Amino acid sequence: MSGSRPELPGGPYLVVGLARSGIAAALALHARGEQAIGVDAGVPDVTRLRAAGVEVHLDAPGTDLVSRARTLVKSPGVPQDAPVVRAARDAGLAVIGEVELAWRLLPNDFIAVTGTNGKTTTTELLGHVHRTAGLPVTVAGNVGTAVTTLIGALDPAATIVCETSSYQLEDTLAFAPEAAILLNVTPDHLDRHGTLEAYREAKLEAFRRQTAAGVAVTSTALAAALPGDARRVTFGAAADGATVALHDDGTISWEGAPLMAAAEIGIPGPHNRENAMAAAAVALARGVDAAAVREALRSFGGVAHRLEPIAERDGVAYVNDSKATNVDATQVALRSYAPGTVHLIAGGVPKAQDFAPLAPLVAERCAAVYLIGEGAGEIGAALASSGTPLHDVGDMERAVAAASAAARPGEVVLLSPACASFDQYPNFEARGDHFRRLVEER
């Protein structure tokens, strides 16, 4: 059970950004009897807020509402330099995020999972580990369920496994989870953070205020970068002294004792082996039974939108990797398939990334690339040197049709966009679902 949490900064509360987490935060505050005012620069569906009696302002910057509040609760999609956020800071308001709000109001142990890639898989896997061990658990955060929805509705003995993005972590003030995992850090969201260093620093907020009673898990390569006072637990090669260690013979050990063969892990690929080792590290460090951890790693089947097999048509496999919203994730996906067999669908919002590192893998693994969305031209220019046929098809319908017509038995049509979805879809889930529908209709 967690220790005491700091009190919330005082209200009234101005909740800025009324997507999923903002709505949940406003409803949670309202249910506590606090005055919550919601504002959004767009016109999202706020039916639930209005039905509850929450004051809402839409298509509005919100700067005129700052004088009515003492605390601003910022949704992760709202940038730090938004006028309303700047005005709140200038006026001396506390500015917190939805994860910080929930953490202060929930007595449960938190396991925060962060990193550039693998967060959702590792979060869901940790939920599976706890369920396999018969331990109460709920999975929330960036993975889909806004964590503030759990306030007043969760067994205090349950562990919350919370996928936390850099956007969420940069809005923390006192957040100190009982355990935290940093899987990896590669360039992503540079359009928001500006530099890789600033992006990494946002991730490290998960560890910065941890105490000696906490657990901090990361790879051996990143261990020296972790701030905070928590116990360090590492995963990686045995030669590097990892706590959860992969040996040359393909076995995995925990603190020197055999755990399982890497080949037994139920989700394929070296990236998933690292995700599984990270999940094992935090679970074992927190006292979960090793036999349950082993069984869970064997039986876990993966998550939607992450190298998810959709169908096979005339010997061609269709795979949904819509969650691959950065270059590194698409590289991981391409390495999962045989040379020359991939018909890659890529594109969307570029997020200030360098796509050039994709070119060697595209040259090696792809039969063709089908470019969609806002980033098509930029990606095409970066891949021109690959010598692989590039088709600027514009949208998903044309991409699936063209790839399906060209693919031969034994090949794969892979949606792995390397980009955000917001030019053509509300989120990566909607993009992946559209891909699935198009494949199922063929």
Q: What residues act catalytically?
A: 119, 142, 189
Please tell me the distance from the alpha carbon of residue 416 to that of residue 178, in angstroms, as a whole number: 34
C-alpha to C-alpha distances, 389 to 14, 256, 368, 370, 435, nearest whole angstrom: 51, 49, 5, 9, 21
pLDDT for the residue 346: 98
Q: What are phi and psi of 404, to 5 degrees?
A: -65, -35
For 106-299, CATH gives 3.40.1190.10
β-pairing, 308-313 vs 316-320, is antiparallel
pLDDT at residue 269 in the model: 84
**Is 441 buried (19+), middle (13-18) or exposed (0-12) by CB count in 10 A?**
exposed
- Per the CB < 8 A criterion, the answer to whether 266 and 260 are in contact is no
Biggest CA–CA distance in the chain, Å, is: 64
Whole-number Å distance between alpha carbons of 116 and 155: 30
Residue 2 has a pLDDT of 60
pLDDT in tens, 300-342: 988 889 888 899 999 999 999 999 999 989 998 999 899 999 9
Q: Which residues are annotated as a binding site for ATP?
A: 115-121
Question: Do 399 and 377 form a contact (C-beta atoms < 8 A)?
Answer: no
CATH, domain range 13-96: 3.40.50.720
Q: Is the pLDDT of residue 197 over 90?
A: no
Q: How far is CA 244 from CA 18, 260, 325, in A?
A: 41, 11, 28
C-alpha count within 13 angstroms, C-beta hemisphere, residue 321? 34
What is the spatial distance between Cα 294 and Cα 287, in angstroms, rounded to a whole number? 13
The model's confidence at residue 143, banded by pLDDT at 50, 70 and 90, is: low
At 189 the pLDDT is 67
To the nearest whole number, what is the mean pLDDT of the chain? 94
pLDDT digit string, tens, across residues 253-304? 999 999 999 999 998 888 899 999 999 999 999 999 999 999 999 999 888 8
The three-point CA angle 238-244-247 to 5° equals: 35
In this structure, the number of other CB atoms found within 10 A of the CB of residue 368 comes to: 19
In this prediction, residues 106-130 reach a mean pLDDT of 94
Q: Which two tokens stand for residue 199?
A: 């992006």
Binding site, annotated residues: 115-121
Q: Which pLDDT score is estimated for 1?
A: 47
Nearest C-alpha neighbor of 37 from the set 93, 90, 79: 93
* Per-residue confidence (pLDDT) for residue 194, from 0 to 100: 75
Cβ contact 424:415 at 8 Å: no
Report yes or no: 46 and 57 within 8 Å, Cβ to Cβ. Answer: no
**What are the sequence ranges of the domains in the chain?**
13-96, 106-299, 308-440
Residue 187 above 70 pLDDT?
no
Can you give the pLDDT at residue 3? 60
The confidence score (pLDDT) of residue 24 equals: 94
> In the predicted model, what is the mean pLDDT of residues 379-395?
97
CATH of the domain spanning 308-440, picked from 3.20.20.70, 3.40.50.300, 3.90.190.20, 3.90.930.12: 3.90.190.20
The proportion of the chain whose per-residue pLDDT surpasses 90, expressed as a percent, equals 86
Q: What is the pLDDT of residue 196?
A: 85
